[in-house]
Structure 1
Amino acid sequence: MDRFLRGLARFTDGYLKVLPLLGKAVPDRPNAPLVLEVARRTRVAPDVVALRLVGDGPLPAWQPGCHLDLHLPSGLRRQYSLCGDPADRDGYRIAVRRVGAGSAEVHDLPTGTRITVRGPRNAFPFVAGGPVLFVAGGIGITAILPMVQASRRDGLDWRLVYVGRARAMPFLDELPDDRVEVRTGRSADLLRDAHPEGAVYCCGPPSMLDAVRRDFASARLHFERFSPPPVVDGRPFSLELRRSGVVLPVPADRSALDVLKDLRPDVPYSCRQGFCGTCEVGGVRVCVQRPTGDRLVLEDL
Structure 2
Amino acid sequence: MKALTEAPAGGASARPLLHRIRAHRVLASVLVLLALPWLVANESLAVNILVYGLFGAGFNLVFGYMGMLSFGHAAFFGAGAYGAGILIAQAGAPWWLALPAAVLACALLALAMGLLAIRTRGIYFAMVTLALSQCVYFLVYQLPQSGGENGLRGANVSTLRLPGVTLDLLDPTVKYYAFLVLVALALLALSRVLESPFGAVLEAIRENEARTRACGFNVEHTKLMTFVLSGALCGLAGALGAIHLSSVAIESLHYETSGLVVMLCLLGGMGTFFGPFVGAALFLLIQDQFSLWTEHWQLYVGAIFMGFVLFFPKGVWGTLLHTLPEKTDGR
TM-score normalised per structure 2: 0.25
Structure with larger RCO (C-alpha < 8 A, sep 6+): 2
TM-score normalised per structure 1: 0.26
Q: Which has the higher strand share?
A: 1
